[in-house]
Every structure is written in structure tokens, then in C-alpha cells.
Amino acid sequence: MTGTTENEKQIEVDFKDKMTYGEYLSLDRILSSQNRLSDHHDEMLFIVIHQVSELWMKLTLHELHAAIEAIKANEMDVSFKKLARVSQIQVQIIQAWDVLSTLTPSEYSEFRDSLGSASGFQSYQYRMIEFALGYKTPHVLKIYEKDPALLAKLEEAYQTTSLYDTAISQLHKAGFNISDEILNRDQTKPYVADQTVLEAWKVVYRDTETYWELYQLAEKLVDIEDRLQQWRFRHMKTVERIIGFKMGTGGSSGVNYLKKVLDQTFFPELWQLRTEL
């Protein structure tokens, strides 16, 4: 059957004076940003996967920052929606490794040298996600000294109260005895597990009806860390599958470094309480 149906006659076709879908999304800029440095076919895969992941990270940061502000304003239901969205975004980023793992060692070796010292280790958005979750290490800032504007942006994120510190503040507001060392701690230091925080979360988990919102907040945090660790694991195995135990392009030890990263934790008390309940 050919021709246009009655309903389809309403479809817009004249865009001389109207904004198109492509213009709204700036597709001309997005789709012209896959600039291969080699002639190898599979470099396109490598670029697209990493660009898409960076877009998902941008949205992750957008949602994390909104969730932190919602928690500070005691708008817990709003924060839950944002944090749940982050968890779903993480699913997409995790699955991206399945696509990249179709790249074989022989294929990657054909264009790997074109990357020079560029490496995912240098992803500033990933560092900002770590900062937002509470994992802060000063040495990584040196990577970004080349771009003063970007460095300033990262330093601001580095000094900003994290999601976990914001959650701990909610415990304090709910009447739990949180140590002054935690409540007034230096936000630029990595978070270290604290017994008063652990005891507070244990009460929350033992009396979920009374502390339902705090309980829901804690579980949203566990969801995020769980999926971040899944992402890290898939990253490590994909790298091992493609380059084995070679050094990373950015100078890291590659797989060995990624294995050590798996031991990092963001919300230690929320994991520890599972053993103690």
C-alpha cells in the first residue's frame, strides 16, 4: 500500500523557518566530532564508545548535583528520583563495555599508538563523579594543569560537600550522634569510616519504619556504589581482554591498577553494617 495516510498529512515537512530535530540536538557538531587519528576501521568504535560514556557521565553529574541539593532541602522523594536515574544511567555505561570488548588485541594494536599518552585515566568527568561521591585524592588534579579553566572547575568540585557527607548530615538532623570530627571534617580529604556513622546506619536498618526515608537514601547509595563497582570490573576485564597486562597509554599499570581500584569504597559503613546486623 502506497501513498500518505490521512493522519500522516499533519507531519511537518517545511522547516525553512523552524528548528529541526538535528538543530535542537546540535547533531552537526556531535556527529562531526569522531576524528580518527588513523585509517583503521575500528578506531571509530573506540572513539564513539568513549564519547557516549562521557555523555552519560555528564548526565550522571547533573543528577548527582541535583540530588545533593534536594537532600539539603529535605526533599527526599526528589533526591530518590535523581539517584534512581543515576543507577539506570550506570546500567548503560556498564553495557558499553560489551560493545568495546568486540575489539580484538590485533585490531586495537593497529591504532593504539595514535592515542599517544591520552587515556581514560584522564577523564575529568569521572574524577568529578568520584569527588561528588566522596572519594577525593589531590594528586589527580595535576593531570589538568594544562587547562586552568578546567582545573578551577575540578578544584571547586574537589572542595564541594559530597553526596555521602550530605547523607551523613541527614543522620545528624534526624537526631543521631555523629562525631564532630565527621560533621566538621575537611571536605578535601578522602572519607574514612567512622563508628558513630556506622551505629547510626545500623539503627536506621533495624527500624526502617521509623527511619524510612534515611533507609531509602542508604539503599539508593548502595545501588550506585554497587553499579560503579560493576562498571570498574567490566572496565578491568575489557582492558585485560584487549591488551592483557600491558602498561596503560597514560602510564598506569593497566589491569593491575584497575584491580586495585576495585578495593576503593565510597560508603564503607553501608557495606559494613550488613555483616553486623
User: What would the pLDDT profile of 210-248 be if each residue is shown by its tens digit?
Assistant: 999 999 999 999 999 999 999 999 999 999 999 898 877
More confident residue, 17 or 241: 241
Asked if residues 114 and 37 have their Cβ atoms less than 8 Å apart, the reply is yes
pLDDT of 1 > 50? The answer is no
Contacts of residue 54, Cβ cutoff 8 Å, sequence gap at least 6: 123, 125
All three cell numbers of 131: 569527588
pLDDT of 46 > 50? The answer is yes
Integer-rounded Cα radius of gyration of the chain: 22
Question: Is 249 known as a binding-site position?
Answer: yes
User: What would the pLDDT profile of 121-172 be if each residue is shown by its tens digit?
Assistant: 889 999 999 999 999 888 889 999 999 999 999 999 999 999 999 999 999 9
Question: Is 185 known as a binding-site position?
Answer: no
Contacts of residue 9, Cβ cutoff 8 Å, sequence gap at least 6: none
Question: Is 235 known as a binding-site position?
Answer: yes
Spatial distance between the Cα atoms of 134 and 141, rounded to a whole number of angstroms: 15
Q: Quote the DSSP letter at residue 247.
A: P
Spatial distance between the Cα atoms of 126 and 132, rounded to a whole number of angstroms: 10
Q: List domains and CATH numbers for the chain.
A: 41-110+160-276 (1.20.58.480)
Question: Is 50 known as a binding-site position?
Answer: yes
User: What would the pLDDT profile of 186-216 be if each residue is shown by its tens digit?
Assistant: 999 889 999 999 999 999 999 999 999 999 9
Question: Is 65 known as a binding-site position?
Answer: no
CB count in 10 Å sphere of residue 21: 8
CB count in 10 Å sphere of residue 64: 22
